[in-house]
């Protein structure tokens, strides 16, 4: 079990952040490199900054298994602006090097061609072209790239991921389904999608969402646990039947709340009995 960095208190150092995660019973944290200047600056960390994080990992025993590289929302692979595409590729190179330096196994990429621009056949083509180059860069250093199933129609299903995977048939390109996002699109049969993708699933995000409908755009963030439309037990039982033994990550944005720890504990109290009923054994702590 892991926890997203944005669920934990924000203005603390990495040793404190990893210790928070450990105290809550998590084995790893997923680092965020989003589109903010503050977090994009991590791509240019110097040796001392990297060493500080490595020391925090050694001292706490809590790892950073994955990086959520959502900064490509600002600088997308599929942009019509060639300068933005160049920045996107430079970000990719730097993130692979950072992953190697930190011992990170997996870089999660957002599954959309563009976010702030209109989607076109050309944006899709640029995305595939640059993703192919990204996979080459990552594979040279044995770093996995995994596409998240998104809150965006470009890749909002494992079926659509498979269409991209056919164009880039590399073992270093896999899928990172978010069961909340996967469940929010009414056209998805979630069980079938997981069955289709099990050979490519390297990690799973857990969160609640509210479905997209004809008169509602869906809600993909900050849905209180149990108040959305995700069939957690059905989905987790499907993964268990498929012998999924990879990591689960609780995705929350509670860093902005007055008491992030309490919010995370509430999530655990809701999710862990369901995980156990599905046949998994999340590590518990005494709160």
C-alpha span between 200 and 161 (Å, rounded):
10
Q: Structure pTM? A: 0.95
Which token pair is 156? 């909002």
Q: What is the pLDDT along the chain (287 residues), one digit of tens a residue?
A: 999 999 999 889 999 999 999 999 999 999 999 999 999 999 999 999 999 999 999 999 999 999 999 999 999 999 999 999 999 999 999 999 999 999 999 999 999 999 999 999 999 999 999 999 999 999 999 999 999 999 999 999 999 999 999 999 999 999 999 999 999 999 999 999 999 999 999 999 999 999 999 999 999 999 999 999 999 999 999 999 999 999 999 999 999 888 999 999 999 999 999 999 999 998 776 54
- Residue 93: its pLDDT value, please? 98
Q: For residue 223, what are the CA distances in angstroms to 170, 212, 243?
A: 35, 13, 28
- The structural domains of the chain, with segments of one domain joined by +, span 2-278
Taking each helix axis as running N to C, give the angle between helix 82-102 and helix 47-60, from 0 to 180 degrees, rounded to the nearest 10: 50
Strands of the 247-250 sheet, one edge to the other = 173-176, 144-148, 106-110, 63-69, 28-32, 2-4, 247-250, 203-206
pLDDT for residue 254: 94
DSSP string, the chain: -EEEGGGS-SSS-HHHHHHHHHHTT-SEEEEE--SSHHHHGGGG--HHHHHHHHHHHHHH--EEEEEEEGGGGTS-TT-S-HHHHHHHHHHHHHHHHHHHHHT--EEEEES-S-SSS---HHHHHHHHHHHHHHHHHHHTTT-EEEEEP-SSGGG-SHHHHHHHHHHS--TTEEEE-BHHHHHHSTT--HHHHHHHHGGGB-EEEE---B--BTTB--B-SSPPTTSSS--HHHHHHHHHHTT--SEEEE---GGGSS-HHHHHHHHHHHHHHHHHHHT--PPP---
The reported pLDDT for the residue numbered 285 is 64
| Paired tokens of 30 | 């997923």
Q: What is the pLDDT of residue 287?
A: 44
Q: Is-contact 248 1, C-beta < 8 A?
A: yes
Residue 283: per-residue pLDDT: 79
The verdict on domain 2-278 having CATH code 2.20.28.10 is: no
């Amino acid at each position: 079990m892991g926890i997203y960095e944005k669920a934990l208190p924000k203005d603390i150092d990495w040793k404190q952040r990893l210790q928070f995660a450990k105290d809550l019973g998590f084995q790893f944290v997923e680092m965020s490199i989003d589109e903010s200047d503050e977090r994009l600056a991590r791509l240019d960390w110097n040796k001392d900054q990297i060493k500080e994080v490595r020391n925090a990992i050694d001292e706490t025993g809590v790892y950073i298994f994955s990086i959520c590289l959502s900064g490509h929302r600002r600088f997308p692979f599929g942009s019509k602006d060639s300068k933005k595409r160049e920045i996107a590729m430079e970000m990719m190179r730097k993130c692979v090097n950072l992953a190697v330096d930190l011992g990170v196994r997996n870089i999660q990429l957002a599954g959309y061609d563009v976010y702030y621009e209109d989607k076109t056949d050309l944006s899709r083509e640029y995305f595939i072209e640059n993703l192919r180059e990204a996979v080459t860069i990552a594979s040279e250093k044995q770093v996995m790239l995994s596409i998240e199933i998104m809150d965006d129609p470009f890749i909002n299903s494992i079926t659509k991921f498979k269409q991209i995977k056919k164009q880039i048939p590399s073992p270093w390109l896999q899928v990172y389904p978010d069961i909340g996002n996967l469940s929010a699109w009414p056209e998805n049969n979630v069980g079938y999608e997981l069955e289709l993708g099990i050979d490519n699933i390297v990690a799973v995000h857990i969160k609640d969402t509210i479905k997209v409908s004809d008169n509602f755009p869906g809600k993909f963030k900050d849905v209180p646990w149990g108040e959305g439309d995700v069939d957690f037990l059905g989905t987790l039982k499907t993964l268990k039947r498929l012998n999924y033994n990879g990591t689960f990550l609780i995705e929350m944005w509670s860093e902005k709340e007055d008491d992030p720890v309490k919010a995370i504990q509430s999530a655990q109290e809701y999710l862990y009995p369901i995980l156990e009923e599905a046949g998994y054994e999340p590590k518990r702590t005494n709160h």
